[in-house]
């Protein structure tokens, strides 16, 4: 499992980068504070937590739940990218800090639903929409959870047997593929965070 361990090390480095991004946001622009700072810092904090939990779940052989955390990390990237596509950023942030759901925010006739945000990020990061739709099947109860209970039959007359309590549904290659997805999403979060740091620094 050495390859998987290397992937884990990569996520640890990304978490350190998230912390550096947070420090950069706080210090940028002579440390002047903007509402957007709080928005992005909250996303970075959640992103670190998800990466840590993802690694622990795979280590504990609970890949069935670990997959759902990849969807949650994608949620971070979608909502971070929302600040780039929204026309009235102040209105959007006001909506958010009033405790209203981002998916209820409307610009014209368009609601900022998860699928809408995924389609927007897909323009910059091809494959996002397909990944979003795939991961949703692990967050919401679906046939994937039924498939996770199926195992090789002990009886030749049976097509399969049901196993309850085994949450490790991925082989080594599949786990590494999900590490790559988690890493890729994290890098998108870093990229957009850097853009805000650069913008904020230029506002001095």
Tens digit of each residue's pLDDT, the chain (204 residues): 444 446 668 899 999 999 999 999 999 999 999 999 999 999 999 999 999 999 999 999 999 999 999 999 999 999 999 999 999 999 999 999 999 999 999 999 999 999 999 999 999 999 999 999 999 998 888 777 767 776 766 777 777 767 777 778 888 898 999 999 999 999 999 999 999 999 999 987
* Contact by Cβ (8 Å): 87, 110: no
Tokens standing for 176? 């590494």
- Distance, in Å, from the CA atom of 47 to the CA atom of 183, rounded to the nearest integer, reads 11
| pTM of the predicted protein model | 0.89
The predicted pLDDT at position 3 comes to: 41
The predicted pLDDT at position 143 comes to: 75
Tell the burial category of 134 from Cβ atoms under 10 Å away from its Cβ (0-12, 13-18, 19+): middle
The predicted pLDDT at position 122 comes to: 98
- Distance, in Å, from the CA atom of 191 to the CA atom of 121, rounded to the nearest integer, reads 13
The predicted pLDDT at position 75 comes to: 98
The predicted pLDDT at position 1 comes to: 40
For residue 110, give its domain range.
2-201
CA distance between the termini of the chain? 49
Work out the angle at residue 115's Cα, subtended by the Cα atoms of residues 112 and 119, and round it to the nearest 5 degrees.
95
The predicted pLDDT at position 146 comes to: 67
Distance of CA 99 to the CA centre of its chain: 21
User: For the chain, how many structural domains are there in total?
Assistant: 1
Q: Among the residues of 140-171, which ranges form H helices?
A: 143-147
- Distance, in Å, from the CA atom of 33 to the CA atom of 17, rounded to the nearest integer, reads 21
* Contact by Cβ (8 Å): 22, 41: yes
């Amino acid at each position: 499992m050495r390859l998987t361990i290397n992937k884990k090390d990569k996520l640890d480095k990304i978490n350190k980068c998230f912390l550096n991004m947070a420090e950069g946001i706080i210090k940028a622009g002579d440390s002047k504070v903007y509402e957007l700072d709080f928005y992005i810092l909250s996303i970075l904090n959640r992103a670190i937590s998800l990466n840590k939990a993802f690694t622990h779940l795979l280590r504990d052989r609970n890949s069935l739940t670990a997959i759902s955390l990849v969807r949650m990390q994608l949620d971070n990237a979608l909502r971070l990218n929302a600040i780039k596509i929204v026309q009235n950023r102040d209105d959007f942030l006001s909506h958010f800090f009033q405790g209203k759901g981002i998916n209820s925010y409307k610009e014209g006739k368009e609601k900022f639903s998860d699928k809408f945000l995924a389609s927007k990020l897909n323009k910059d990061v091809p494959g996002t929409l397909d990944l979003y739709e795939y991961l949703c099947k692990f967050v919401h109860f679906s046939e994937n959870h039924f498939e996770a209970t199926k195992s090789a039959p002990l009886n030749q007359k049976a097509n399969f047997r049901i196993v309850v309590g085994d949450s490790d549904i991925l082989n080594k290659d599949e786990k590494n593929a999900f590490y790559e997805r988690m890493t890729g999403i994290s890098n998108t979060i870093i990229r957009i965070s850097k853009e805000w740091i650069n913008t904020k620094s230029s506002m001095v």
